[in-house]
Amino acid sequence: MPDGAVIEFSNITKTFGTVTAVNDLSFTVEPGRVTGFLGPNGAGKTTTLRMLLGLVAPTSGTATIGGIRYRDLPRPLQTVGAALEAASFHPGRTARNHLAVYARAAGLPAARIDAVLHLVGLSAHGGQRVGGYSLGMRQRLGLAFTLLGDPGVLVLDEPINGLDPEGIKWIRGFLRAMADEGRTVLVSSHLLSEVQQSVDDVIIIATGALVHRGTLASLETEAAPRILVDSPDRTALAAALGHAGIEFSVGRTGLLAAAPDAALIGHVAFLAGVELSALHRERKGLEEAFLALVNGGGDTHGNETGNASGGESR
Amino acid sequence: MTSFSRAIGAEFAKIGTTRMWWILAAVMFGYIALLAGGLSALFAGIESGAISPDAVGSGSQGLPSFGSLPPLIYSFASSIGYVFPVLLGALATTGEFRHQTLTPTFLANPRRGQVLGAKTIALFVMGAVLGVVALLASVGVGALVIGAFGLDPLLGESATWALIGRTVLAMAVWATIGVGLGVLVPSQVASIVIVLAFTQFVEPLLRFASLFTEVTQGIGNYLPGAASDALVGASFFTLAAPGGTAAAMLEWWQGGLVLLAYAIAATVIGYMVSWKRDVT
């Protein structure tokens, strides 16, 4: 079984002309976990991954796999498997021949070709020209290329794009199995909901800069807590909150108070003699926390609540 | 196996797993066979007296003297066929950009200079293969027709076999020029237009025009097509010289070096301008 290796980005920056696509990004990705690399379209995810793979030269900074730059890896396909967004196939070549070309370049035995075609469920279509493939089949062929060298590190750019529900379910199980075998799995997406069922850690970037890194659970605690409170006599409740100096806004189902915990609000109401009909912590969705982060822009470097590399035990 | 020999193997696999090379080989064979067969029938017919000079329409004194007919016909393999290896090389290279296969290529072997070197070697061999196919058409069909008119096809002459060998070499170098052009102009459409316009129109005109003065004639010898003809040692072009005087060509080895210089210059500059740039 191949061993995972640590992926490390340190102060990596890429500028295209006057546009800064990736700005001083540093983070590590640990083996044995699925790490989601998230951010809106155009945030710089693909550029970052292409710099890791030696396809795009960084303006400054380094990206390494197990401490080695991709270009210096002695056996790249056997170390890192990558599936990038663009469909990179010659339409006139069969799937089997497509893989054979790169197996030849990497010095891999021909038996690997059938093995990976089987693994992604394309055994029956290996002799077919790729030009006739559906989007889902192309995604699977991209994945077959990724697995060709049985690498310990997997880098997948938007692998769920274009997959049908069955394919999405399959890839989730696949990512989990790969991480459980001890491999390093880095998977990018512009939608948190697409990957939240399969990732352990998240790295979130917006406009080329890091806005959050930590465990998936850390995202939830990210948003400022709010307490939903309601009373048959809302006017009295509002007055009591105002008197206690607690900020609040009026929502559809009650008042949303900015307070760290519900007990404080209950105490304020008790002192003012106001009857409560509802009192609970508002549960903010992961997606909302994610959106708040990426819309907040790249100026919140300080709010790391965890560390993707350290991680918290689940 | 070293990564370089694996890279060469991969480049051969790329060519062998698509249909382009044999489509080009088939079209080239038909084209050269038709011209070599037709023109050798015409010229051999005149020379042997089977066709009356009056039937050609220009009168007896207007006919060019073509010296020895067989080498001229045999040289069609490269003087007319050279566009095919250039196209093969250019398509093999620009296809990597067009189909975005540079991504898996550079993932499998991130040493880009090595990949380009491997591609050059693979295309050199494929160019030689096209050279053999082209000779099967020009020598095979040409000799048959010349022999049928009772003339000597000169197949026993060592000079003929030297021409055949140098034709294979010329076609091989032409394929690497195609690789160089492909990295210089990665747009496939632009590359094809340049190949066709230059080989079929621009260069013939330049070569013809350069023959009018001695100074330009010296420069014209360094055009790639002229260098190729010098390498091969015979050319249909010398027939077309104004006043019927055969232009002085470069020595065959000089022509070969000039051709090689074009290939190296295009490939090295192309490496700088496209091959080592970001793959996005």
B93 touches A: beta carbon within 8 Å: no
Q: Kindly tell me if the per-residue pLDDT of B182 is higher than 80.
A: yes
> Distance (Å) from the C-alpha of residue B269 to the closest C-alpha of chain A?
19
A104 contact residues in B (CB cutoff 8 A) = 6, 9-10, 13
Per-window interface: B 3-22 vs A, CB < 8 A: 3, 6-7, 9-10, 13-14, 17-20
Nearest to A57 among B9, B108, B278 (CB): B278
- The residue range of the domain holding B118 is 3-275
**Structure-derived torsion over alpha carbons of residues B168, B174, B179, B181, reported in degrees to the nearest 10:** 180
Is residue A86 classed as helix, strand or coil in its secondary structure? coil
| Predicted ipTM of the assembly | 0.88
Average pLDDT over residues B165-188: 97
User: pLDDT tens-digit profile of B203-231?
Assistant: 989 988 888 888 888 888 899 999 999 99
B103 contact residues in A (CB cutoff 8 A) = 55, 84, 86, 88
| Contact assignment for A100 to B17 by CB distance below 8 Å | yes
Q: What is the 3-state composition of chain B as percent helix, strand, coil, each rounded to the nearest 5?
A: 80, 0, 20
What is the topology classification, in CATH, of domain A7-221+288-295?
Rossmann fold (3.40.50)
Lowest mean pLDDT among A66-70, A75-79, B55-59, B158-162: B55-59
Percent of chain B with pLDDT over 70: 89
> Distance (Å) from the C-alpha of residue A16 to the closest C-alpha of chain B?
10
**Looking at the 3D structure of chain B, how many domains does it have?**
1
User: pLDDT tens-digit profile of B65-94?
Assistant: 555 788 889 999 999 999 999 999 999 999
Q: Kindly tell me if the per-residue pLDDT of B139 is higher than 70.
A: yes
| Contact assignment for A55 to B18 by CB distance below 8 Å | no
A71 contact residues in B (CB cutoff 8 A) = 110-111
Rg (CA), chain B: 20
Pick among A46, A78, A104, A129 to test the B interface (most B CBs inside 10 A): A104
| Contact assignment for B110 to A70 by CB distance below 8 Å | yes
Pick among B107, B274, B280 to test the A interface (most A CBs inside 10 A): B107
Nearest to B103 among A71, A86, A98 (CB): A86
| Contact assignment for B104 to A94 by CB distance below 8 Å | no
Which residue's entry shows tokens 């034709």?
Answer: B167
Q: What's the pLDDT at A135?
A: 84
Amino acid identity for residue B273 in this structure = V
Nearest to A76 among B14, B101, B108 (CB): B108
B196 touches A: beta carbon within 8 Å: no
| Contact assignment for A90 to B95 by CB distance below 8 Å | yes
Q: What's the pLDDT at B268?
A: 97
> Distance (Å) from the C-alpha of residue A96 to the closest C-alpha of chain B?
10
- B119 found inside a domain: yes
- B255 found inside a domain: yes
Amino acid identity for residue B280 in this structure = T
Q: Is there a contact between A6 and A29 (Cβ–Cβ < 8 Å)?
A: yes
Q: What's the pLDDT at B54?
A: 65
| Contact assignment for B10 to A47 by CB distance below 8 Å | no
Domain ranges of chain A: 7-221+288-295, 227-281
Q: What's the pLDDT at A194?
A: 81
| Contact assignment for B99 to A89 by CB distance below 8 Å | yes
Q: What's the pLDDT at B189?
A: 97
CA atoms within 13 A on the CB side of A93: 23
Average pLDDT over residues B226-243: 70
A105 contact residues in B (CB cutoff 8 A) = 6-7, 9-10, 105, 108-109
Q: Kindly tell me if the per-residue pLDDT of B57 is higher than 80.
A: no
Q: What's the pLDDT at B61?
A: 45
Q: What's the pLDDT at A44?
A: 93
Q: Is there a contact between B167 and B259 (Cβ–Cβ < 8 Å)?
A: no
Q: Kindly tell me if the per-residue pLDDT of B34 is higher than 90.
A: yes
| Contact assignment for A56 to B6 by CB distance below 8 Å | no
Amino acid identity for residue B76 in this structure = F
pLDDT, tens digit only, all 314 positions of chain A: 678 899 999 999 999 999 999 999 999 999 999 999 999 988 999 999 999 999 999 999 999 999 999 999 999 999 999 999 766 899 999 999 999 999 999 999 999 999 999 999 999 999 999 999 988 889 889 999 999 999 999 999 998 887 888 888 888 999 999 999 999 999 999 888 888 888 999 999 999 999 989 888 777 666 567 788 999 988 889 888 888 888 888 877 888 888 778 888 888 889 888 899 988 887 666 777 788 788 764 443 333 333 333 333 33
Lowest mean pLDDT among A305-314, B9-18, B72-81, B271-280: A305-314
Q: What's the pLDDT at B55?
A: 63
**For residue A73, what is the nearest residue in chain B, using CA coordinates?**
B110
b/e B8-47 (16+ beta carbons within 10 angstroms → b): bbbbbbbbebbeebeebbeebbebbbebbbebbbebbbbb
**Of the candidates B271, B77, B21, B15, which has an alpha carbon nearest to the alpha carbon of residue A90?**
B15
B102 contact residues in A (CB cutoff 8 A) = 88
B109 touches A: beta carbon within 8 Å: yes
- B221 found inside a domain: yes
Other beta carbons less than 10 A from residue B150's beta carbon: 11
> Distance (Å) from the C-alpha of residue A86 to the closest C-alpha of chain B?
8
> Distance (Å) from the C-alpha of residue A105 to the closest C-alpha of chain B?
5
List residues of A whose CB lies inside 8 A of any B CB: 46-47, 50, 53-57, 70-71, 73, 76-77, 80, 82, 84, 86-94, 97-98, 100-102, 104-107, 145
- B280 found inside a domain: no
Q: What's the pLDDT at A222?
A: 60
B99 touches A: beta carbon within 8 Å: yes
B100 contact residues in A (CB cutoff 8 A) = 86-88
Task: Using alpha carbons only, give the angle B5, B6, B11 rounded to the nearest 5 degrees.
Answer: 95
Amino acid identity for residue A212 in this structure = H
| Contact assignment for A93 to B18 by CB distance below 8 Å | yes
> Distance (Å) from the C-alpha of residue B2 to the closest C-alpha of chain A?
9
B111 contact residues in A (CB cutoff 8 A) = 71
Q: In angstroms, rounded to a whole number, what is the distance separating the alpha carbons of residues A145 and A165?
A: 22
